[in-house]
Amino acid sequence: MADKNTAQETKKQAWRERLYEIIFEADTPAGKYFDVVLLIAILTSVFVIMLESVESIDARFKNGFTYAEWFFTVLFTFEYGARILCARRPIRYIFSFYGIVDLLSILPTYVLVLESYGMESDELHRLGVIRALRLLRAFRIFKLGHMLSGAAELREAIWATRSKITVFLATVVIAVVIEGAALHLIEGPENPGFSSIPQSMYWAIVTMTTVGYGDATPETPLGKCLAAIIMVLGYSLIIVPTGLVTAELAHAGGNFTATRITTQVCPECMKEGHEVDATFCKFCGSRL
């Protein structure tokens, strides 16, 4: 009987292994097929949420949207359950980044039903927007195909210049605060767009990034003069990080060893990015 149990256990284990490969990886045809179907489901459901937020469309197709939403929620709930079932360490999966996103993308629909008795319709509607986080799950599908190496090279170039980018960002933040304080001092009393330092800092960011809404503009000659200097500064600032990352990429391109990365996820620590010839996880040492 123990034997039978073990055989059953082994069978169950094999079944879980197979499910794991389909859901978490994209090396097998079944895994790829699963990812493509999931991607289509995610995109469609987010598209429905987008349409739902347009009042005139929502008024006409309210029932259709509700049915679609329940269909996707049930689908994603099954998928969430399957992921917990086949992960070797379910707790770790649940509290991983994607685990939380997976939960957040199904929870609102259930919460809406439970709480719909005590809340106003408008607030309920807004809670539903959280489901748009579903789209974050699409990042998981990037494991498909050869996009991975492109992303890896990029990440490497940005990582290699992180200390310079930190210096740059700190300089920008300090500049924004000083500029905000200066324009609050000059324009403050008369101009509502500069009524406080945080307000002026918002203006400084809008200006330095060259967005320039025009909802707050300097009106005094001195303010305009200072604003012009800030604009030229902000316009020039972009040069620095562009140059840094580009130079890094140009170098990397030369001696970048093209390590092929697989789509396998470590079944123990849930980390990705393992190379093709890896047999053990390079983060926790468990067999892949």
Footprint on residues 78-107 left by a copy of itself (CB under 8 A) = none
Smallest separation (angstroms) from a copy of itself to the CB of 119: 14
Choose the binding region for a copy of itself from 50-58, 90-98, 107-115, 268-276 (rule: CB under 8 A).
50-58
- 146-175: contacts with a copy of itself (CB under 8 A): 146-147, 149-151, 153-154, 157-158, 161, 163-164, 166-168, 170, 172, 174
Q: How far apart are CA 118 and CA 164, in angstroms?
A: 52
**Which pairs with CB-CB distance under 8 Å and at least 24 residues apart come from 108-113?**
109/69, 109/70, 109/73, 110/73
Smallest separation (angstroms) from a copy of itself to the CB of 64: 17
Contact 261, 147 (CB under 8 A): no
Q: Which residue, 20 or 191, has its beta carbon nearer to a copy of itself?
A: 191
Site residue total, a copy of itself (CB under 8 A): 88
- 240-269: contacts with a copy of itself (CB under 8 A): 240-254
Smallest separation (angstroms) from a copy of itself to the CB of 166: 6
Among 198, 222, 260, 284, binds a copy of itself (CB under 8 A): 198
Among 211, 275, 282, 286, binds a copy of itself (CB under 8 A): 211
Q: Which residue, 1 or 239, has its beta carbon nearer to a copy of itself?
A: 239
Q: Which residue, 161 or 264, has its beta carbon nearer to a copy of itself?
A: 161
Interaction of residue 210 with a copy of itself, rule CB under 8 A: yes
Among 142, 144, 220, 268, binds a copy of itself (CB under 8 A): 142
Among 30, 107, 112, 197, binds a copy of itself (CB under 8 A): 197
